[in-house]
Amino acid sequence: MAREAVKETIPLMTPYKMGQFELSHRVVLAPLTRCRSYGNVPQPHAAVHYSQRATKGGLLIAEATGVSATAQGYPETPGIWTQEQVEAWKPIVDAVHRKGGVFVCQIWHVGRVSNNGFQPDGQAPISSTDKQISPDPESSMVYSKPRRLRTGEIAGIVDDFRRAARNAIEAGFDGVEVHGAHGYLLEQFMKDGTNDRDDEYGGSLENRCRFAVEVIDAVVREVGAHRAGVRLSPFADFVECADSDPVALADYMVRQLNMHEGLLYCHMVEPRMANVDGRRHIPHRLLPFRKAFNGTFIAAGGYDRDEGNKVVAHGYTDLVGYTGGYLYPTLTYLEGLSLARP
């Protein structure tokens, strides 16, 4: 008698309900800056890029998208503060939806991770501080000395995020992700390594997080908690933005997110992975925050297919964010092949 074939359950390929969305698998396209939106306007070829990576019931997070003209710090990155940009995003979003994908727009402001050349009229970038980032020898990037935001200006930046969230929904996105990670403006306020303010947005942990919390609150009020996610990287020290107590920072922010019942998700970046005996090693220090958050948790940072399957199977996270492997999704995820490293 023929033996019955037993189909192995692959954790990453199991369905998951994220709020109102029925996901068919746990693999998430994490945001990946492409620098191909000429004049800060998304281009038609982006529809091909994203639709190729879309699957029925799969979650995709778009590349970081600027909330205003001052939000820019990299060449040719997209924005969503003008009607022209909104209209340009629409066919891209439609292409993903035709494949059955769930598409979220990540909105950001780079803050001091910029130079005068990216700023309107050559003005100084804005930040929580006037401390300048050291030149980056690997990229030859030179960062201009930032201008410390005045207390009275902060409400205007909060409103930029609110309007960007509304514009994203108008463009057809299923939700928005507030970028509070990787050393950009929100994190420049949150972390004590970059926030040296003496007003209500500096000093204590609560004060340092006030700006980020106000942005999240404004976005939730505008589009609803069910369409709002947040990305955090408390353990990272990108572009000289570090905190002396990342555990306390992560715990505080997760508790703030829990204030919004039904928040779409919390997307958190792992501490930098280390190499142990020539092998990748992920510290798995996000578990306390995954347990504390009352909703969908996305972990990202250094995952391959096997590690992703393991953390989903063990309940360490609900979803796993990937970037590079999505360049060749069939090879990496369906065939299990590794990509060559340069």
* pLDDT tens, per residue, the chain with 342 residues: 444 444 589 999 999 999 999 999 999 999 999 999 999 999 999 999 999 999 999 999 999 999 999 999 999 999 999 999 999 999 999 999 999 999 999 999 999 999 999 999 999 999 999 999 998 888 788 999 999 999 999 999 999 999 999 999 999 999 999 999 999 999 999 999 999 999 999 999 999 999 999 999 999 999 999 999 999 999 999 999 999 999 999 999 999 999 999 999 999 999 876 555 555 667 768 999 999 999 999 999 888 889 999 999 999 999 999 986 555 555 555 556 554 443
Count other C-beta atoms under 10 Å from residue 301's C-beta. 21
Global model pTM greater than 0.85: yes
DSSP H/E element including 131: none
Maximum CA extent, the chain: 78
Q: How far apart are CA 209 and CA 200, in angstroms?
A: 10
According to DSSP, the β-strands at 274-276 and 265-269 are: unpaired
The residues carrying an active-site annotation are 184
